[in-house]
Amino acid sequence: MTTVAAKPATMAQALTRALRDAMAADPAVHVLGEDVGTLGGVFRITDGLAAEFGDDRCTDTPLAEAGILGTAVGMAMYGLRPVVEMQFDAFAYPAFEQVVSHVTKMRNRTRGTMPLPLTIRVPYGGGIGGVEHHSDSSEAYYMATPGLHVVTPATVADAYGLLRASIASDDPVVFLEPKRLYWSKDTWNPEEPASVEPVGRAVVRRFGRSATLITYGPSLAVCMEAAEAARAEGWDLEVVDLRSLVPFDDETVCASVRRTGRAVVVHESGSFGGPGGEIAARVTERCFHHLEAPVLRVAGFDIPYPPPMLERHHLPGVDRILDAVGRLQWEAES
Amino acid sequence: MTVMEQRGAYRPTPPPAWQPRTDPAPLLPDTEPYRVLGTKAADRADTELLRTLYARLVRGRRYNAQATALTKQGRLAVYPSSAGQEACEVAAALVLQEQDWLFPSYRDTLAVVSRGVDPVEALTLLRGDWHTGYDPYEHRVAPLSTPLATQLPHAVGLAHAARLKGDDVVALAMVGDGGTSEGDFHEALNFAAVWRAPVVFLVQNNGFAISVPLDKQTAAPSLAHKAVGYGMPGRLVDGNDAAAVHEVLSEAVRHAREGGGPTLVEAVTYRVEAHTNADDATRYRGDAEVETWRRHDPVELLERELTERGLLDEDGIRAAREDAETMAADLRARMNQDPQLDPLDLFAHVYAEPTPQLREQQAQLRAELEAEAEAEAQAQAPADSASAPQGGHR
């Protein structure tokens, strides 16, 4: 078997490749959304798909998100495997009724006779200088809705592996793409994209002994940077990348927290009613006797997403993470 | 340079010639609802079809009465009756071929039953032992949709998918007058027209969205006129004239099957009962209005046509009613049996495989059920053995 050396690729390229490979492998896979055809999507993730597979497999739809997802539901009912692109996080809200009333419930309300294998791709999060309605962290809405898987990659390899797994899943998946990572590069071997990651498994990105940073998607890189900076303070931080918010990998998260005894959850989403509250509660319920300090959250503020010239104050950064780590009751150990 | 000189130098380019994208005239509905019964059109109607429609209407009327009675006996949690609308319900099912799909709303269990679904399974949602009681693929009937108009884009997507696969499938989607105000109605019709999807949209304009009359719902000349804005034909039909509804829907289905794209059909009818058994219609409408519509009853209209033309006699009427009674007795008997429930099923169909968290919750419920069963067994045990506690704190 010939192998091609791993070379730098962007997350956007990995996502495009995942879509292309999924469409080539299964004629039931159809891509639909706004501008996904001729243009290749506003982020160019569907670039070349219409040319290769035709307009019927990669379809420019009318500009109506509820209609896009609603028709995708009907296509899935007929045995297709639609992959829907929502252009931006905050443009996906018109489709929300279809998500909560049908996408998430169809399997359950029909006693398993009518599963809906469809993937909803949503570019999400901030950090790209977008004007309003272009930078929302909408994961908490989806997490709170039973029947969905909620998946988000933080690395180039995961972008490929998790998207392939999501499309192959017989359950509906909201696939959240951190748009500030679209152009992030990583060494990745596109000829050996064998790692079709199972949905629902977290991964330890950095091993450490002092405390665990629990994070996902756009905040992973910030946490890795914070972990490096923490060495100067004498902290050896572990970093867990959740990869999937639903299903939630209690096992990997709790194993880490039991080792380190301290945990901080980091995400862009607001803290009130955000994913961090659920994660902190789960960790506390399962690891209480291993904890040296309360589980803390470093999150976006509980405000409408700020204008681009102010967004850096909102997004969790290295300093805010290190401040939180510093509040993990270290004095108890001395 | 003066302003006048500047103007003189300017040579505007004319815009590209504008043309209407579609000729709207053929898309426009008739000025009055189309009728067959009591008109010359009835002469060319297929008499066998009329007899079939009659038998189905009588059954449908009895079905509505039986289901309403079951709410009073506590056997149904709620029933939104389609009494007075049986012509639409029955015809919608009859015009479809086996491979076609029906997309009903919550008031359309009669259409679902008319398509061949077991009435007990069609009423499961309203009894409350599960949501959808039937396998949608068995009779190609989508689950009853409670959120208004949200099933319409599903019909479009399914019909579009079938066409892409080269399958001969038409989807007929049902919605009420209130549902036409929903965004999903608009988006579904727009997608269907753009994709030329083989879909028929049947709007049963029964006059009310619970209590709100059509005047407060729309300013359109008719609901059928809305079709023109999407570039599809709109058809207006008397929804209580079963022969007319059947003819108009059949034409729309044929048009869709032949690749002509979608049609919007507005059937003008009337909800003679309240919204559901839990509603009080006297708060928003008068008896006189209801009486007017009761005199334009779909069962009586067809019965009169058939008897006047010698196609139906007393024996025929009696036979139809007896057949309906048999159906009702069977439904009553089967609905009077308690459904078998397994609470642990709650976790079975949320995902293809339950998540670890759902497995934990299922185990929790199982423990609760076991404790309940144990407590019940102890409570039923003879009094003398009750003096020896077996442990446990319940």
Q: B383 pLDDT exceeds 80?
A: no
Q: Which structure tokens are listed for A230?
A: 């923490």
In chain A, residues under CATH classification 3.40.50.970 are 7-188
Q: A140 pLDDT exceeds 80?
A: yes
| Partner B contacted by A187 (CB < 8 A) | no
**Under a CB-based contact definition with an 8 Å cutoff, are residues B232 and B185 in contact?**
no
Cβ A94–B183 below 8 Å, yes or no? yes
Q: A105 pLDDT exceeds 70?
A: yes
Question: Measured between CA atoms, how close is B95 to chain A, in angstroms?
Answer: 21
| Partner B contacted by A31 (CB < 8 A) | no
Domain boundaries, chain B: 25-277+285-335, 343-379
Which residue in B148, B154, B170 has the most chain A C-beta atoms within 10 A of its own C-beta, making it the best mutation to test that interface? B154
- pTM > 0.90: yes
For residue B131, the chain A residues in CB contact (below 8 A) are: 105, 108-110
> What's the CATH architecture for B25-277+285-335?
3-Layer(aba) Sandwich (3.40)
| Partner A contacted by B99 (CB < 8 A) | no
Q: What are phi and psi of B269, to 5 degrees?
A: -140, -160
Question: Measured between CA atoms, how close is A300 to chain B, in angstroms?
Answer: 27
pLDDT of residue A196: 67
Span B367-380, pLDDT tens digits: 999 999 999 999 98
pLDDT of residue A279: 98
Of the listed ranges A50-59, A103-112, A194-203, B78-87, the least confidently predicted one is A194-203
Q: A122 pLDDT exceeds 90?
A: yes
Which residue in A101, A111, A253, A279 has the most chain B C-beta atoms within 10 A of its own C-beta, making it the best mutation to test that interface? A111
CATH number of A7-188: 3.40.50.970
Q: Residue with structure tokens 């296509």? A: A75
Question: Measured between CA atoms, how close is A5 to chain B, in angstroms?
Answer: 37
pLDDT of residue B132: 96
Of the listed ranges A151-155, B32-36, B273-277, the least confidently predicted one is B273-277
Span A12-56, pLDDT tens digits: 999 999 999 999 999 999 999 999 999 999 999 999 999 999 999
Average pLDDT over residues B51-75: 97
Residue B10: pLDDT band by 50, 70, 90 thresholds? Answer: confident
Q: What are phi and psi of B163, to 5 degrees?
A: -65, -40
Cβ B157–A72 below 8 Å, yes or no? yes
Catalytic residue positions of B?
271, 275, 284
Task: Find the residue in B nearest to A69 (Cα).
Answer: B153
**Under a CB-based contact definition with an 8 Å cutoff, are residues A183 and A154 in contact?**
no
Question: Measured between CA atoms, how close is A10 to chain B, in angstroms?
Answer: 32
Share of chain B above pLDDT 90, in %: 90
Average pLDDT over residues A188-216: 86
| Partner B contacted by A248 (CB < 8 A) | yes
Residue B394: pLDDT band by 50, 70, 90 thresholds? Answer: very low
Task: Find the residue in B nearest to A101 (Cα).
Answer: B147
| Partner A contacted by B183 (CB < 8 A) | yes
Which residue in B167, B185, B232, B349 has the most chain A C-beta atoms within 10 A of its own C-beta, making it the best mutation to test that interface? B349
For residue B165, the chain A residues in CB contact (below 8 A) are: 78
Question: A154: which residues sit within 8 A by CB, 6+ positions away?
Answer: A178, A181, A205, A215, A216, A217, A218, A219, A220, A221, A241, A243
pLDDT of residue B4: 57
| Cβ atoms < 10 Å from Cβ of A9 | 20
CATH class of the structural domain A203-333: alpha beta
Cβ B187–A64 below 8 Å, yes or no? yes
| Cβ atoms < 10 Å from Cβ of B392 | 9
Average pLDDT over residues B52-63: 98
For residue B135, the chain A residues in CB contact (below 8 A) are: 110, 113
Cβ B187–A56 below 8 Å, yes or no? no
Is the dihedral angle over the CA atoms B379, B384, B387, B391 positive or is it negative?
negative
| Alpha helix (H) residue ranges in chain B | 3-9, 47-72, 86-94, 109-114, 119-122, 124-127, 136-139, 152-164, 183-195, 226-230, 242-257, 287-294, 298-308, 314-335, 356-380, 383-386
Residue B14: pLDDT band by 50, 70, 90 thresholds? Answer: confident
Catalytic residue positions of A?
134
**Under a CB-based contact definition with an 8 Å cutoff, are residues B113 and B67 in contact?**
no
Q: B9 pLDDT exceeds 90?
A: no
For residue B157, the chain A residues in CB contact (below 8 A) are: 70-78, 82
pLDDT of residue A131: 95
Span B208-256, pLDDT tens digits: 999 999 999 999 999 999 999 999 999 999 999 999 999 999 999 999 9
**Under a CB-based contact definition with an 8 Å cutoff, are residues B270 and B240 in contact?**
yes
Q: Which among A132, A129, A128, A226 has a CA at the least distance from the CA of A178?
A: A128
Residue A2: pLDDT band by 50, 70, 90 thresholds? Answer: very low
Span A281-322, pLDDT tens digits: 999 999 999 999 999 999 999 999 999 999 999 999 999 999
Cβ B156–A74 below 8 Å, yes or no? yes
Span B135-188, pLDDT tens digits: 999 999 999 999 999 999 999 999 999 999 999 999 999 999 999 999 999 999
β pairing state of B234-238 and B263-268: parallel
Task: Find the residue in B nearest to A110 (Cα).
Answer: B132
Question: Measured between CA atoms, how close is A26 to chain B, in angstroms?
Answer: 14
Is the dihedral angle over the CA atoms A181, A187, A191, A194 positive or is it negative?
negative
In chain B, residues 308-347 whose CB comes closer than 8 Å to chain A: 345
Average pLDDT over residues A113-124: 98
In chain A, residues 78-107 whose CB comes closer than 8 Å to chain B: 78-80, 82, 94, 97-98, 101-102, 105-107
**CA–CA separation, B118 vs B276, rounded Å?**
22
Average pLDDT over residues B296-303: 98
**Under a CB-based contact definition with an 8 Å cutoff, are residues B222 and B236 in contact?**
yes
| Partner A contacted by B157 (CB < 8 A) | yes
For residue A246, the chain B residues in CB contact (below 8 A) are: 355
For residue B152, the chain A residues in CB contact (below 8 A) are: 70
Q: Which amino acid is present at A178?
A: P
pLDDT of residue B11: 83
pLDDT of residue B316: 96
Span B151-161, pLDDT tens digits: 999 999 999 99
In chain A, residues under CATH classification 3.40.50.920 are 203-333
**Under a CB-based contact definition with an 8 Å cutoff, are residues B90 and B57 in contact?**
yes
Q: B389 pLDDT exceeds 60?
A: no
